[in-house]
Every structure is written in C-alpha cells, then in structure tokens.
Amino acid sequence: MTKFFTLNTGAAIPWLGFGTGSALYGKDAANLVRLAIDNNITHLDGAQVYNNEDSLGAGIKAAGKPRSDLFVTTKLGKLAPGETVKESLKASLNKLGLGYVDLFLIHDPSPATKEGKLSQLWEGMEEVHREGLAKAIGVSNFKVEDLKVILESGKIVPAVNQIELHPYVWKAAEPIVKLAQEHGIVIESYSGQTPVARVQGGPLDEVLAQIRERLEKTRGKAVTTGQVLSKWLLQKDIVVVTTTSKVERMKEFLDTETVPDLTPEETQAIDEGGAKLHKRVYMHHVFGE
C-alpha cells in the first residue's frame, strides 16, 4: 500500500483499513486479520462493541509484523457506571495485547449527548492521548452538531470522524464532510460498498456500469464496480474501511490504487445518481431516521 493520508497529529494513516465489524461482529477475526496483514493491509479497524478485540489482537500477533508497521484502531463503547475512558481503553489494550492504539474513537455520540456529557467524555479521550495510550483520538458517527460541541469545548481537534459513507448517503453526509475537512479532520468511510452489496437495482447501477467500462478501456484490464466506489471515496480524500473473507477481494481493494482516476463528470454523475435514493444501513438512531 503506497497511499496514505496525514492526520492532524502528523501520523500517516493507510487509505485502506480492514474492518472487524459487520460480518465479523462477535466472531473470531484472528485468521482474517492475519490474512489481511499477510496481504499488506496494515490498517486494522476494531471496536469494543464488536466483541472480538481479543481475536483482532491474536491475528496481529500471528502475523508477526513489527508493531511500527501497523495502524490499529479501536472504538470506545458505552462506559459502565463509574468507569473512566482510561480504564476502558486499558481493558481494550489488554485484549489486543498492545501497549497503545494508533487511533481511538468515540463510537457513538448519542449516549453522552443524551446525558449532556459529550464534552466531559472528550476530556477523557484527551487524557488517554496525553498519556500515550492512544497516539491519535477521534470520533465516529458524529453529526455536524456533535462535532461542533467537541470543536468548541475541546483542547484537541479530533483526528478522524468515521461515518457510513457511500453515494446513497452522500447528500446527507456532505455537510459533515465539509465541516470536518475545514478543520483538518480526516473522514473515514464504512459501508462504502452499499450500492453494490445492498442496493441492487438502484439508480446508480447504470452509472457505475458505464464508468467501470470506461475505466477498463483506459486501463486495459478488469475494473470492478466496487473499485469504482472506492475510487470515488479516495478522490474525495476519504479513508476506506471495509471487510471481506476472501483474499481475492483483499487484493482487489488494494489494487484500487492503480485504477485510473474518475473524471470530474463521472464523480458528479455518481453524486447525482446517489442523491436519487437515501439508504442508510447503520446508526439510524443517531441521525433520527
């Protein structure tokens, strides 16, 4: 993997992350994590709520890659009564078998927002960053108003906001992306393959097929619709977090780097086609849907 984005900490984050949620939720991820690392996917994305941090750690250990070559993320779930962010992260680090994570995210703003404690929660995140337990801190599933709370009250600007992002939520997500990028916050996408994985027969099908054909002619070798979607994200300066159980798909994701760029007209066609259908897969409660 040769393409990286730069976080506001100065750290480099690989553009492609292997996620251990969705299909791996609550399951043993060790073998697939090892396979991902063996196939040069060094950015690994976990979470407390996925209930498999121990197997993520086991996969990392089995791969035998130097820790400095890996970029590991986990996410804070809901704190138990009286539990601190630091205690919660230390429990995750024990499961992962690591001394630190490269990125630690608040997974869901809604529990803290309901209690009016989002600023207080971010103070706990800042503490684990200061102590070196998390090299960078950020958020996930944050709306514009949630980001503004942190930006106005916090001492540290989040490094990342990881959100569901694909053409069928682009219209709703664009203000979030715009605010984040104005403040140097990197956007990470999950569920980026939704138009091909979950919405067959949607308004984008023909648009994506035409773009894929053009790219194949330009490139002189096969291009998948999934690569078109990943390219669309990449050209918006967005990190792609995805998952698969197949080595061929891992190689396909990595190969996206060598796919020719979309033209401005093609990007616009995807934006406009996506705007014809709103389809969110996750976190409906956060976005009031």
The DSSP bridge pattern shows strands 43-45 and 160-164 to be: unpaired
Contacts of 133 (CB under 8 A, 6+ apart): 86, 89, 90, 93, 100, 101, 104
pLDDT for 22: 77
- Tell me the per-residue pLDDT of 34-86, one tens digit each, with 9 for 90 and over: 999 999 999 999 999 999 999 999 999 999 999 999 999 999 999 999 999 99
**Other CB atoms within 10 Å distance of the CB of residue 127:** 16
Query: What H or E segment, with its residue span, contains residue 207?
Result: helix 205-219
Q: What token pair was written down for 147? A: 């980001």
pTM of the predicted structure, to 2 decimals: 0.97
The DSSP bridge pattern shows strands 137-140 and 103-106 to be: parallel
Confidence of residue 1 (pLDDT cuts 50, 70, 90): low
Is 183 known to sit in a ligand binding site?
no
Domains and CATH numbers, the chain: 4-194+233-257 (3.20.20.100)
- Tell me the per-residue pLDDT of 186-204, one tens digit each, with 9 for 90 and over: 999 999 999 999 998 999 9
Distances in Å between the Cα of 68 and the Cα atoms of 59, 64, 85, 128 are 16, 11, 24, 19
What's the rounded Cα separation, in Å, for the pair 60 and 129? 22
* Mean pLDDT, residues 121-132 taken together: 98
Q: Which of 25, 50, 100, 190 is catalytic?
A: 50
> Annotated catalytic, 50?
yes
pLDDT at 132 > cutoff 90: yes
